[in-house]
Chain A
Amino acid sequence: MAQIELTDVGLSYFTLKQETEALRDINLSIKHGEFISIVGPSGCGKSTLLSLISGMLKPTSGKIEIDGAAVSGVSPKVGYMLQHDHLFEWRNVLNNLTVGAEIRKMDRGIAKRKALELLERYGLGDFAHHGPSQLSGGMRQRVALIRTLVAEPDILLLDEPFSALDYQTRLTLSEEVFHIIKDQGKTAVLVTHDLSEAISMADRVMVMSKRPSTISNIHEIRFDEGEGLSPWKKREAGGYHQTFNAIWKELEEHVVASL
């Protein structure tokens, strides 16, 4: 059964000057434990789609369900990871990690233990009592992911989480984040501009058209080398370039059309 189900979802923005139709007829179902990437021309409403799934925005038409229940308001099943880590400078790493748990009024002791355990597990155990400013960009983003995990979501929404990082950190971190997400058995939806990132991390890549955006195509990412390859292995796989070129071509048409 699908964990996330979008049926005929549409969304329009209203301003005093005009009405903008951002999304139209989005139908998508995402299975439990699946990793899906969303790519498309800038301003096509990729991030909007994440806000809809998270319950921060209401669709103008259609319905969104998580585990068979209609989404109304922010669901505790969903965790969000943003482009910037937004760690709070006035809290140390450990207290930053429990922010989500605090908001959701979860047990503090349990949250703290879980935070420490995750820090330890993902190689940041020594930094629990450091200030955020003492961490590197890649470390901060890993802390941000752990902060999301401490609140115990089933679904992770990743909104260009690596785009503020330098190329090398980006490659390393995407590999790590992939392993953390698989290790924790979470469902993930990644929005990105980076096509190679989208392909290497996901089981399926969804291409969106220009506004009003619809799903133009969904590509299964499957290589002869086997199932569940890590991003690194996928980039090395024989069929990688072919897949990349196919999606690139499709994207290019939308990008040109939106110019």
Chain B
Amino acid sequence: MSSPLYEKYLRIQKRKLWLIGLSRLSVLAVFLALWELAAGWGWVDPMLTSKPSLLLSSFRELAFEGSLLKHTWISGLETVVGIAVSMLLGTAIAVLFWWSSFASKVLEPYMVVLNALPKVALGPIFYIWLGDSYSIYGMAVAISIIVTIIMVESGFREISKTKLKLMESFGATKPQMLRMVLLPASVPHFIATLKVNVGLTLVGVVMGEFLSSKAGLGYLIIYGGQVFQMNLVMVSITMLALLSVILYGFVHLLERFARKKYNYEA
């Protein structure tokens, strides 16, 4: 049985949570209302800013026509594939660096340079080498893979040396250490890397679409800008925001599952 004091505490905490949720929604509502009114009363030029009610009707138009959802789907697919490729390839390279400290030392300065290099500058190269659709994957992976390697590798380094000494004392081989300690102990790092990658890969995909593609939200944004259709630009940006929310949602679910399975604290 809980005491009245505790019940009161719980009530107050619950009210706080409600207040936070409510305030979040109000921020959005106030922002949209101000936007609508400002455009409606001529404080700003709707030609330049568009307005929420117009966006809603263009969204309806674009969605029912079918092209908006198709473009969103294409960008979403490119992002998911990009994330998957950089996670797998990045982890594989981080494992290689752990396996061979020689390789790690040899390649270290190159990693530093590649990390600092603005990957967007590689756009034309990807376009010429990979063509207009695959260059988007090239850009997405280029932007996220280096960070993946660095984050996963630093995760490996955080795993205590004595944990590996324990494995060594049983005569464990390197593949056994990898499978039984390194990979399971790195699950929290994989999730953290995944979170960073959702954002970075989206940047890569949109950037890639800006440069070369004939489809996707990045293409719609550029196209909308060129024909001075602010509605199209804004709707596409909103879809992009929705897409990132959905992807974060998936990562969040994955995190909850992993925390239960691998029994770690956030």
In contact, A82 and B187 (Cβ under 8 angstroms): no
Beta-carbon contacts of A49-76 to B below 8 Å, as 1s and 0s? 0000010100000000000000001111
How far, in whole Å, are A104 and B163 apart by their CA atoms in the complex? 17
In contact, A90 and B184 (Cβ under 8 angstroms): yes
Whether a CB of chain B sits under 8 angstroms from the CB of A88 is yes
How far, in whole Å, are A102 and B184 apart by their CA atoms in the complex? 16
On whether A103 and B172 interact (CB within 8 A), knowing A80-B166, A82-B162, the answer reads yes
Say what secondary structure dominates the interface of chain B: helix
In contact, A76 and B169 (Cβ under 8 angstroms): no
Whether a CB of chain B sits under 8 angstroms from the CB of A170 is no
Say what secondary structure dominates the interface of chain A: loop
On whether A54 and B169 interact (CB within 8 A), knowing A90-B264, A103-B176, the answer reads yes
Whether a CB of chain A sits under 8 angstroms from the CB of B262 is yes
The 3 closest A-B pairs by CB, nearest first: A80-B169, A74-B171, A90-B262
Residues of chain A lying within 8 A (CB to CB) of residue B184:
88, 90
Query: In residues 166-193 of chain B, which contact A (Cβ within 8 Å)?
Result: 166-172, 176, 180-181, 184-185, 187
On whether A56 and B262 interact (CB within 8 A), knowing A82-B162, A88-B184, A103-B180, the answer reads no
Beyond A56-B169, A80-B169, A90-B263: 4 further Cβ-contacts under 8 Å? Answer: A86-B162, A88-B180, A90-B185, A104-B171
Whether a CB of chain A sits under 8 angstroms from the CB of B160 is yes
Residues of chain A lying within 8 A (CB to CB) of residue B264:
89-90
**A74 to chain B: closest residue by CB:** B171
- A interface residues (Cβ-Cβ under 8 A, vs B): 54, 56, 73-76, 78-80, 82-84, 86, 88-90, 99-100, 102-104, 131, 133, 151
In contact, A99 and B263 (Cβ under 8 angstroms): no
Partner of A56, one of B168, B176, B185: B168
How far, in whole Å, are A82 and B167 apart by their CA atoms in the complex? 11
Whether a CB of chain A sits under 8 angstroms from the CB of B70 is no
In contact, B170 and A103 (Cβ under 8 angstroms): yes
Would you list 27 pairs from A and B whose C-beta atoms are within 8 A, ordered by A residue? A54-B169, A56-B165, A56-B168, A56-B169, A73-B171, A74-B169, A74-B170, A78-B169, A80-B169, A82-B165, A82-B169, A83-B162, A84-B162, A86-B162, A86-B163, A86-B166, A88-B181, A88-B185, A89-B262, A90-B261, A90-B263, A90-B264, A100-B170, A102-B180, A103-B167, A103-B172, A103-B180
In contact, B169 and A99 (Cβ under 8 angstroms): no
Residues of chain B lying within 8 A (CB to CB) of residue A100:
170
Minimum CB–CB distance from B51 to chain A (whole Å) comes to 52
Minimum CB–CB distance from A89 to chain B (whole Å) comes to 5
Residues of chain B lying within 8 A (CB to CB) of residue A103:
167, 170-172, 176, 180
How far, in whole Å, are A131 and B184 apart by their CA atoms in the complex? 15
